[in-house]
A and B are shown apart, each in its own frame.
Chain A
């Protein structure tokens, strides 16, 4: 969709069409990704992976591999685990230890057992094939419910159970609402494993400098506290690890968290005194890269009245995190922030259960558990409608929080900042011409097609605040989740914004320059934004949880405002007036009403840098300002009954999708797609729209195509791009986005987050459309992805009934 050339919000730059700062280097092939980092004498790593889902390692013989010319080292778990520390775990389960290389026991097929370092990757692979590992296979479990029930087959026997997290939250008078409701229904919704699967695999290079005693790291990383975790595991002080954040990351959407890879490569680089690089190949990435997403079963129970009012929900969510747990169990925590979606539900019971199995470990994926939860909630809305024989829109409209109810506090303790859900839904319905769409569907049905309309109305909690950490692990009192920016005006008057994390396509350089330009009234095109390394950067928690427009944008604004105040102070001192007597325009400051009495940007910069005699007392010379801030509304600990403000901002999206299915072949086709979206003020609309289109495509993948499947032997059976089906331009239909803006009252410019947009509502809407198409057959499907096969089997079931 086309973006207005001028800001619809009355800003100078924010909201207007602006090309990004990043694109020119990417379209010319001059991006600098981790795999592009050339280090003299670089050595390459290949890995030996476990063929078993569960086994004891009896012996590892690497003599033949070491003898291959060009091979420098073979590392196994015995040495590595003794020399480094286990990776941290979010929940309270200290016996669940985890290293990049297995020691004594492997817990999933694909787990790394040995690493070979050689002159080339090809040689390293040759040598890896020569390593003989003797295993004693052990019983394995890949199903989460079996893992709960089967206490004999423990993934981590020292932990004593396969359950790593199990809580029971009751927010509000759940039982009373259930007792008083006219109706109740229960069903199971299943979200199978998928992930964002970026086209770039994870890559990391490391170099140890014995003179400075610094370990330099270049990685395709998107991860909070990454340098800190790497240093700790390597038993180095934090100031001995320097992560270079100026590396372009080839997509992440949550999963680029190669901390285990990093510790491995960092250790090897230091141990061997050579620069070492590991680029996952696609097989390693899919099996052993530890980037699978939620794998979740929801048992949903709803209590509701005859008019469609949902009174209360009971949600039991069992999540299969795989063989090790980092932050994965927390993906059951973020949804607490919007546990009842955009609906005014009075009471919710939530039972999250996180289970370890002999599958590949789970990592953070776009939405951090919210997309599966939204899918379960939106299936619930459709089921309530069907139960009452009500229109699905009417049920949603009955329950949507009204514009006049904001700020609105949900039972689990989060306050939604703002919204106008009904208007966004109305806009989307108008954009797709809903009455005509219903006619189109009905006509298709009369022609023998299976045709359906899917609707979802969902929230994107944004502003990434990790308050689910103390909620799910009382021993973890992390409440700080800051981000920051440093703005510096050099002697030439040029502006530099300095951020402290890497970007994976979100356009942070564009974000920061636009915001600084807005505040200082200087052309963003002239503002440079750099990614400082971790030893020079101010604190950042990285672009997770749809936070950067809010947090980095807010930090950049905060720093720029300090600069502006300094400029005003300098002018006030020189004009011997108060700041309030001054006008600031385009970086120049003049006495109000006296255009001649002006200090230009260049003059002010000159004073700040060179003319201490003209500086006001107490003002720091040199023009730079840092701004570090905590997530708005953040910083609190949960109440004893488990209520907590988690994310600060809540963006809203509604999806309307029209699907036809060939009843004879079960082939689905998405024929129409409209998304209504409100994420407050969009700093760069092209970027927001782009992420939303991408999120929708990713959601269509989750709904119809993508799954990490396992066979009975615990082997991943979709470990290549031939079997893990990322949708192409053929499968993704044209999408129309309809914008609406309800500014957030708690952010700098009214912005909310949007990095997970689209993905949070698309799977639900597509699933609802398929089910609407199948409704005339009186069958339904509540398991994602809904493959051709699943549709055919469901149609066959209907024929048998």
Chain B
């Protein structure tokens, strides 16, 4: 007995992607295994660590807590979709490099998604607001400090106050 497959069509990083998936295929597994978008990482698969964060219709969600069929008809942005159209690093990505806001890089895609969503809504967040926005993304390397600094730097740069 083989599992039933469901046809899905999801706009991923601006491109319509279609596929046939089992109902139980999580969104993150579909992105990684079917679309080969391996930038989104799996950390706990039970909705705590935030490594799998993607944007769904512009808002950050945990892609391990969603089945791909649930995202049918929606819009998904992954870390691969954050760079500028010409492939240059976004201000946020570049700020993470500048402020050393990462080490092993494993939580980084989820952090970037959470941070980008914050800055989209709140261009000048306070430190507390930054910590709240990334409070659902666990990092074991950085102690969060340089991540907070990277997001602060990105906000200043976007406001034209820093190089």
- In the complex they form, whether A and B have CB atoms below 8 Å apart is answered with yes
Q: B104–A730 contact, CB under 8 A? A: no
Cβ of B72 under 8 Å from chain A: no
A 145-180 contacts with B by CB, 8 A: none
B45 contact from A281, A505, A689, Cβ within 8 A: A281
Q: A27–B106 contact, CB under 8 A? A: no
Q: A691–B103 contact, CB under 8 A? A: yes
Given known pairs A23-B97, A248-B105, A722-B46, the reply for A38 and B36 (CB within 8 Å) is yes
A199 contact from B2, B43, B100, Cβ within 8 A: B43
Q: A693–B146 contact, CB under 8 A? A: yes
Q: A29–B104 contact, CB under 8 A? A: no
In the bound complex, CA of A20 to CA of B103 (Å): 9
Q: A693–B142 contact, CB under 8 A? A: yes
Q: Which of A205-213, A249-257, A259-267, A609-617 contacts B (4 or more CB under 8 A)?
A: A249-257
Given known pairs A29-B80, A726-B138, the reply for A35 and B102 (CB within 8 Å) is no
B 122-139 contacts with A by CB, 8 A: 127, 130-132, 134-139
Chain B residue numbers with a CB within 8 Å of A282 are 43-46
Q: Which residue of B lies closest to A198 (CB)?
A: B140
Q: A689–B146 contact, CB under 8 A? A: yes
Given known pairs A27-B89, A721-B49, the reply for A690 and B141 (CB within 8 Å) is yes
Chain B residue numbers with a CB within 8 Å of A507 are 103
B104 contact from A69, A248, A693, A695, Cβ within 8 A: A248
Q: A729–B144 contact, CB under 8 A? A: yes
B102 contact from A23, A197, A691, A730, Cβ within 8 A: A23
Q: A694–B141 contact, CB under 8 A? A: yes
In the bound complex, CA of A687 to CA of B37 (Å): 28
Mask, B85-110, CB within 8 Å of A = 1, is: 00001000110111010111111110
Chain A residue numbers with a CB within 8 Å of B148 are 729, 734
Cβ of A696 under 8 Å from chain B: yes
Label chain A's interface by main secondary structure.
loop
Cβ of B83 under 8 Å from chain A: yes
In the bound complex, CA of A30 to CA of B37 (Å): 9
Q: A200–B112 contact, CB under 8 A? A: no
Cβ of B39 under 8 Å from chain A: yes
Chain A residue numbers with a CB within 8 Å of B45 are 281-282
Q: B97–A24 contact, CB under 8 A? A: yes
A735 contact from B109, B135, B136, B145, Cβ within 8 A: B145
Cβ of B42 under 8 Å from chain A: yes
Chain A residue numbers with a CB within 8 Å of B98 are 19
Q: A36–B104 contact, CB under 8 A? A: no
How far, in Å, is B9 (CB) from chain A's closest CB? 22
Chain A residue numbers with a CB within 8 Å of B36 are 38
B24 contact from A122, A687, A728, Cβ within 8 A: A122
Given known pairs A197-B140, A726-B140, A728-B136, the reply for A505 and B103 (CB within 8 Å) is yes
Q: A253–B140 contact, CB under 8 A? A: yes
B143 contact from A200, A252, A694, Cβ within 8 A: A694
Q: A23–B96 contact, CB under 8 A? A: yes
How far, in Å, is A56 (CB) from chain B's closest CB? 32
Interface size class for chain A? Answer: 35 or more
Q: B43–A200 contact, CB under 8 A? A: yes
B100 contact from A197, A686, A720, A728, Cβ within 8 A: A686
Q: Which residue of A lies closest to B146 (CB)?
A: A690
Q: A697–B89 contact, CB under 8 A? A: no
Cβ of A491 under 8 Å from chain B: no
In the bound complex, CA of A721 to CA of B138 (Å): 10
A 207-259 contacts with B by CB, 8 A: 248-253
In the bound complex, CA of A693 to CA of B102 (Å): 11
Q: B97–A29 contact, CB under 8 A? A: no
How far, in Å, is B104 (CB) from chain A's closest CB? 3
In the bound complex, CA of A505 to CA of B142 (Å): 10
How far, in Å, is A284 (CB) from chain B's closest CB? 11
How far, in Å, is B108 (CB) from chain A's closest CB? 5
Q: B104–A28 contact, CB under 8 A? A: no
A 113-158 contacts with B by CB, 8 A: 122
A 690-740 contacts with B by CB, 8 A: 690-691, 693-698, 720-722, 726, 728-730, 732, 734-735
Most chain A beta carbons < 10 A, residue from B36, B46, B93, B145: B145
In the bound complex, CA of A324 to CA of B78 (Å): 41
Mask, B12-46, CB within 8 Å of A = 1, is: 00000000001011000000100011111111111
Chain B residue numbers with a CB within 8 Å of A735 are 143, 145
Chain A residue numbers with a CB within 8 Å of B108 are 26-27
Q: A199–B139 contact, CB under 8 A? A: yes
Cβ of B7 under 8 Å from chain A: no
Q: A732–B143 contact, CB under 8 A? A: yes
Mask, A1-36, CB within 8 Å of B = 1, is: 000000000000000000110111111111111011
Chain A residue numbers with a CB within 8 Å of B141 are 251, 505, 690-691, 694
Q: B131–A730 contact, CB under 8 A? A: yes
Q: B46–A720 contact, CB under 8 A? A: yes
In the bound complex, CA of A507 to CA of B104 (Å): 8
Q: Which residue of B lies closest to A722 (CB)?
A: B48
Q: A199–B146 contact, CB under 8 A? A: no
Cβ of B76 under 8 Å from chain A: no
Cβ of A466 under 8 Å from chain B: no
Given known pairs A20-B100, A28-B80, the reply for A729 and B134 (CB within 8 Å) is yes
Q: A28–B93 contact, CB under 8 A? A: yes
Q: B104–A249 contact, CB under 8 A? A: yes
How far, in Å, is A723 (CB) from chain B's closest CB? 10
Q: A251–B2 contact, CB under 8 A? A: no
In the bound complex, CA of A252 to CA of B36 (Å): 25
Q: A690–B93 contact, CB under 8 A? A: no
Q: A27–B43 contact, CB under 8 A? A: no
Q: A721–B146 contact, CB under 8 A? A: no
In the bound complex, CA of A30 to CA of B40 (Å): 10
Cβ of A504 under 8 Å from chain B: yes
In the bound complex, CA of A170 to CA of B122 (Å): 62
In the bound complex, CA of A697 to CA of B148 (Å): 14
Cβ of B68 under 8 Å from chain A: no
Given known pairs A27-B112, A38-B36, the reply for A698 and B100 (CB within 8 Å) is no
22 contacts between A and B (CB under 8 A): A20-B97, A23-B96, A27-B102, A27-B105, A27-B108, A122-B22, A200-B106, A250-B105, A250-B106, A252-B104, A253-B140, A505-B103, A687-B103, A690-B146, A693-B142, A693-B145, A697-B142, A697-B143, A720-B46, A728-B144, A729-B144, A730-B131
Q: A199-B43, A693-B143, A729-B147 are in contact. List 15 more A-B contacts (CB 8 A).
A: A27-B89, A28-B83, A31-B39, A33-B41, A122-B25, A198-B106, A199-B49, A250-B104, A251-B103, A251-B141, A504-B104, A687-B100, A698-B143, A721-B48, A729-B132
**What are the 9 closest A-B residue pairs judged by CB atoms, nearest first?**
A29-B39, A26-B105, A505-B104, A250-B106, A697-B143, A505-B103, A693-B143, A721-B48, A29-B79
